[in-house]
Amino acid sequence: MQHRIIVLGAGYAGAIAAGRLARRLRREDVAITVVNAEPDFVERVRMHQLAAGQDLKPRPLNEMFAGTGVELRLAKVDGVDVDRKIVAATDDNGAGELAYDTLVYALGSGWNSRGVPGAAEHAYQIASRPGALRLRERLARLDAGQAVVVVGGGLTGLEAATELAEARPDLDVALAAHGGLGDWLSPKGRQHLRKVFGQLGITVHEQAAVAGVEADRVVTDDGRAIAAAVTVWATGFAVHPIAKATTLEVTGTGRIVVDATMRSVSHPDVYAIGDAAFAMGRGGKPLRMSCASGTPMAWQAADAIAARLTGGKLPNAPLRYFNQCISLGRKEGLIQYVTADDRAVPAVLTGRLAAAYKELVCKGAAWGVANPMLGLPARRRRVTRQPAPAARQPAPAVRGPESRSVRR
């Protein structure tokens, strides 16, 4: 019988893992099924571009997986019973169940209102394509001089503010940051960021934690009111609640706790990758929610699954960071080089060259999803055994990024 591998979610992490597994394992031995609610791959790192009015190239998943042996099931995941090894999902034919032998959980994350009053009712988000399209439609109806406030000073907020200011110079764009502008960057990085924000005419409100969102303004925790015909919410991300409803070992925020091979510490037949997983990187620091983390996590999980099924050698490469790539509109960018554990170093790349570098990274990430069968040796190994159960491990202490806004 074929070993049944189900991958939940076809974002960067899920799609890459499915393609890599198809490259590693023989079709006669495994049945790989990807369950995803949408028929197209969503370039989430470009949602600020979509919101600003740019059209993105369609990327149908059935074309991406053509010839790989991966089966695409268009369905919404309703729940997972990790003890019975069953996925509950609903498609055009109604509700049903899918059984698995190995599960790869890659449902990712969505926007996070953080419980701020009025955010869910009045703010717009760009964590999803529907959200970005809704914002796009609203911005198209704004008159010159109206105010747009981007809430959140992380990578998503910086990219959204600069993209909107460049695309709509007639609008009054502002950024409300909880701390200082780019306060995690190197001095050169912060200097360049301020320069670009000044050139684009973006007003920056620093040390401005937003405590409430109304129809025409945001209010900070120190009582400041900032006019906003449109509020864009970019304060971090929240994972899908499905994992928290299972018996999987999860963090307080619902991320699945995994070991160095992306395997659940409580259920050895479950692997978690991307934003949904709580994995440790260099220096014992949790990996941040980002494409930069999700892609190597997908490689690690796929290689570990293949190794356990074929009796091969487990991957042991520690996951690390090299840089943070920030687009600042279509003409400017900032590449902040970092240590393995994601701390800024003095070196940066700026200007048009940085913008081209970031664009190359985005295209490369999409290419990796669209060409899952390339870049690996053609040799597929035969499945020789079922993966042995792993001993339950204690969950690592939850600290650091789990208790503060996550930059993306």
Q: Give the tens place of pLDDT for each residue, 87-99.
A: 999 999 999 999 9
CA distance 288 to 304: 21
Q: CATH says 3-110+237-319+375-400 is which class?
A: alpha beta
* CA distances to 63, 133, 300 from 377, in Å: 22, 40, 16
User: What pLDDT is attached to residue 381?
Assistant: 66
CB 285 within 8 A of CB 319: no
Chain position carrying tokens 């890599």: 20
Of the candidates 216, 207, 213, 203, the one whose C-alpha atom is nearest the C-alpha of residue 162 is 203
User: What pLDDT is attached to residue 364?
Assistant: 86
Q: What long-range pairs does 314-323 form, CB within 8 A, spacing at least 24?
A: 314/261, 315/261, 316/260, 318/260, 318/281, 318/282, 319/279, 319/281, 319/282, 319/287, 319/293, 320/281, 320/282, 321/281, 321/282, 321/292
User: What pLDDT is attached to residue 365?
Assistant: 85
113-233: CATH topology: FAD/NAD(P)-binding domain (3.50.50)
The H or E element that residue 57 is part of is: none
User: How far from the centroid of its chain's Cα atoms is residue 247's Cα?
Assistant: 24
User: What pLDDT is attached to residue 382?
Assistant: 73
CB 25 within 8 A of CB 310: yes
CA distance 339 to 325: 14
Residues of CATH 3.50.50.60 domain(s) within the chain?
Answer: 3-110+237-319+375-400, 113-233
Report the relative pairing of strands 277-278 and 270-272 from DSSP bridges: unpaired
CA distance 383 to 399: 38
CA distance 369 to 298: 11
CA distance 39 to 68: 17
User: What pLDDT is attached to residue 393?
Assistant: 43
Beta strands in 152-265 (DSSP E): 172-176, 203-205, 210-214, 217-220, 225-227, 230-233, 237-239, 256-257
User: What pLDDT is attached to residue 318?
Assistant: 85
Tens place of pLDDT per residue across the chain (408 aa)? 899 999 999 999 999 999 999 999 999 999 999 999 999 999 999 999 999 999 999 999 999 999 999 999 999 999 999 999 999 999 999 999 999 999 999 999 999 999 999 999 999 999 999 999 999 999 999 999 999 999 999 999 999 999 999 999 999 999 999 999 999 999 999 999 999 999 999 999 999 999 999 999 999 999 999 999 999 999 999 999 999 999 999 999 999 999 999 999 999 999 999 999 999 999 889 999 998 999 999 999 999 999 999 999 999 888 999 999 999 999 999 999 999 999 999 999 999 999 999 999 998 888 888 776 555 554 566 777 555 454 444 433 333 333 222 232
CB 58 within 8 A of CB 43: no
CB-based contacts of 397, cutoff 8 Å, min separation 6: none
User: What pLDDT is attached to residue 376?
Assistant: 56
Tokens of 118: 């009025």
* CA distances to 29, 105, 109, 263, 303 from 2, in Å: 5, 20, 31, 21, 18
Of the candidates 192, 150, 181, 153, the one whose C-alpha atom is nearest the C-alpha of residue 52 is 150
User: What pLDDT is attached to residue 369?
Assistant: 82
Length of the chain: 408
Q: Is the dihedral of CA 374, 377, 383, 388 positive or negative?
A: negative
User: What pLDDT is attached to residue 371?
Assistant: 76
User: What pLDDT is attached to residue 373?
Assistant: 59
Chain position carrying tokens 């074309």: 63
User: What pLDDT is attached to residue 385?
Assistant: 59
User: What pLDDT is attached to residue 377?
Assistant: 54
